[in-house]
A and B are shown apart, each in its own frame.
Chain A
Amino acid sequence: GAVVSQHPSWVICKSGTSVKIECRSLDFQATTMFWYRQFPKQSLMLMATSNEGSKATYEQGVEKDKFLINHASLTLSTLTVTSAHPEDSSFYICSVPNGGGSTEAFFGQGTRLTVV
Chain B
Amino acid sequence: RKEVEQDPGPFNVPEGATVAFNCTYSNSASQSFFWYRQDCRKEPKLLMSVYSSGNEDGRFTAQLNRASQYISLLIRDSKLSDSATYLCVVNTAIMIYNQGGKLIFGQGTELSVKP
Contacts and interface: CB of A to CB of B under 8 A. Distances in A.
Given A107-B45, A110-B41, A46 B103 contact: yes
Interface size class of A (residues with CB under 8 A): 20 to 34
A32 B100 CA distance: 11
A98 B91 CA distance: 14
A93 B96 contact: no
Contact of B44 (A44, A98, A103): A44
A98 B41 contact: no
B102 A98 contact: no
Contacts of B42: 109-110
A108 B42 CA distance: 9
B43 A43 contact: no
15 contacts: A41-B107, A43-B4, A43-B107, A44-B87, A44-B105, A46-B102, A101-B98, A103-B49, A103-B96, A104-B96, A107-B45, A109-B43, A110-B41, A110-B42, A110-B43
